[in-house]
Amino acid sequence: MSKLYLKNANVIDVVAGQELKGSSILVEDGIIREIGGAAPADAEVLDLGGKSVMPGLFNCHTHICLAPVADPKYDETDAQVTMMALDHLKMYNETGVTYVRDVGGMNFIDIDIRDAVKAGKLCAPDLAVSGKCVTMTGGHGWSMGRECDGADECRKAAREQLKAGADWVKVMATGGVMTKGVEPGSPQLGEDELRAAIEEAHKVGAKTCTHAQGMTGIKNALRAGIDSIEHGFYMDDECFDLMKKNNTFFVPTLAAVYWIVKNGTEAGIPDYAVRKATEAMEAHKDTFQRAYKAGVKIALGTDSGTPFNPHSGTAYELVLMVEAGMTPVDALRAGTIVAAELCGVEKEMGSIEVGKKANLAVFAKSPLEDVANAGDCCMTIKNGKVIYQA
């Protein structure tokens, strides 16, 4: 039995919203066994010197197969995509992220990588993956997705992703920023098409998420039974009521629009993408604020892989959430325990509690005092083993 004892640790309890100064964590075989006790004689002792320890961060909206370049063409070979994805996973290791939900891969490479992580062949965050997004012909994400039209085709497309091994099925309810010729506010797959794909996922216990930016498409997805709304630029109180009634989560990905607007056409981002992001930015922020006040469950995701939106930037979403009006402790919860609930793993991870996995992130200064401190990760522990140390 392997034992790791972390001493002189300031342990952040995200559930209670407090920090236990000068505490300790005992880990046995990758599981947290005690908080605040004495060190067993046979344990490896690691002195954290007063650094802050949090549950490992979650990033619930990533594209590990995409590079955050200005004007992506999606024309890389499978070998090139795989090498990029492995490099991106290393970035998550180095920034305290121990769980990634990937919502749109290339040629099922994400599924193969997930399986390699599960088998212990790769040192990387735990992964939940979705294979190819399900989109209408010519719809948002068509160049890397599974195009389909009509309820029967959407049902088949979902079955294909599940057959390949997807944990989630992602459906495209509206247009988006990065696809030329479509608009964020325009509905795409209809309610009957969305419902067909969602039903197939739910039959086998898989979950569903939707790229949904315009209100009509969002409501179509909510009525069809979706589990999480991604982006959600334009939502009203009816959306929020439906989300709370159906326990639907919101993953706003504030970073995606932020980085496009910040860098602009001067950095090489297509003018149509900058236009759409700029037009949506204030509405997106307003929707986030109203959803938060309404009590919608919000989980952290960055949409990493979109222009200038780095795979190393998970913590910056916390900053953007707080700047938009979320309290620091609720932002940390969005990136830990609430995200774990979205992903269905809240009994195993997402907080530092006895019996949960020892997936931990260590920071030089307390993110509870300033969420920007989550951008300075000095150690990542996964399953009780140090996988990164600055």
Prediction pTM value: 0.97
CB count in 10 Å sphere of residue 381: 26
3-55+351-389 and 57-342 share one CATH topology? no
pLDDT at residue number 1: 79
d(CA 91, CA 63): 13
Superfamily of domain 57-342: Metal-dependent hydrolases (3.20.20.140)
Nearest to 178 by CA among 105, 62, 310, 69: 69
d(CA 251, CA 211): 10
Q: What distance separates the 2 farthest-apart alpha carbons in the chain?
A: 65
Angle, helices 191-203/215-224, rounded to nearest 10 degrees: 40
Tell me, letter by letter, the H, E, C secondary structure of 21-65.
EEEEEEEECCEEEEECCCCCCCCEEEECCCCEEEECEEEEEECCC
The answer to whether residue 237 scores a pLDDT higher than 90 is yes
The full set of domain ranges for the chain reads 3-55+351-389, 57-342
The answer to whether residue 48 scores a pLDDT higher than 90 is yes
Fold of the CATH domain 3-55+351-389:
Urease, subunit C; domain 1 (2.30.40)
Task: Render 267-303 in DSSP notation, one character per residue.
Answer: GT--HHHHHHHHHHHHHHHHHHHHHHHHT--B-----
Nearest to 349 by CA among 37, 14, 73: 14
Q: Which whole number is the average pLDDT over 226-235?
A: 98
**pLDDT > 90: percent of the chain:** 100
**pLDDT > 70: percent of the chain:** 100
Give the DSSP letter of residue 205. T
Mean pLDDT of the chain: 98
Instruction: Evaluate whether 9 touches 19 at the Cβ level (below 8 Å).
Output: no
d(CA 36, CA 373): 24
Q: Which whole number is the average pLDDT over 281-293?
A: 98
CB count in 10 Å sphere of residue 40: 14
Instruction: Evaluate whether 367 touches 52 at the Cβ level (below 8 Å).
Output: yes
CA atoms within 13 A on the CB side of 13: 14
d(CA 212, CA 50): 43
The answer to whether residue 210 scores a pLDDT higher than 90 is yes
Residues 6+ apart with CB under 8 A from 217: 173, 174, 186, 187, 188, 189, 210
Nearest to 199 by CA among 251, 162, 146, 238: 162
Q: Where do the H-state alpha helices sit in the chain? A: 78-93, 109-118, 151-164, 191-203, 215-224, 237-246, 254-263, 271-294, 314-323, 328-334, 337-342
Q: Which whole number is the average pLDDT over 362-375?
A: 98
